[in-house]
Amino acid sequence: QGDCMELMAASDNVVRAGFTPKFKDVSTLTSMLDYHPALPELLTGIPEGPNVRLYAPPSEQFPEFALRRCVVAAGEEASL
């Protein structure tokens, strides 16, 4: 159970392997992968209110990649 969100900036530093008509560099991508199983890091976010949690990047250098999750039940209100 859960959600997955990826936030990225426009970049030329992308290695593709499929699902695109753009250049695919499979050998570079596979050389970069780590095939050791591990548990995912589960982010819990920082509470900003009763209905809002902030998920911020580990570096304050990129605040534009912060994400706020607001969960509001029917009939409730929340402010960001």
* Residues with catalytic roles: 16
3-state secondary structure of 55: strand
Q: From residue 24, give the alpha-carbon distance in Å to each of 14, 20, 27, 34.
A: 10, 8, 9, 19
Residue holding tokens 């902030």? 54
Q: From residue 33, give the alpha-carbon distance in Å to each of 15, 72, 74.
A: 11, 38, 43
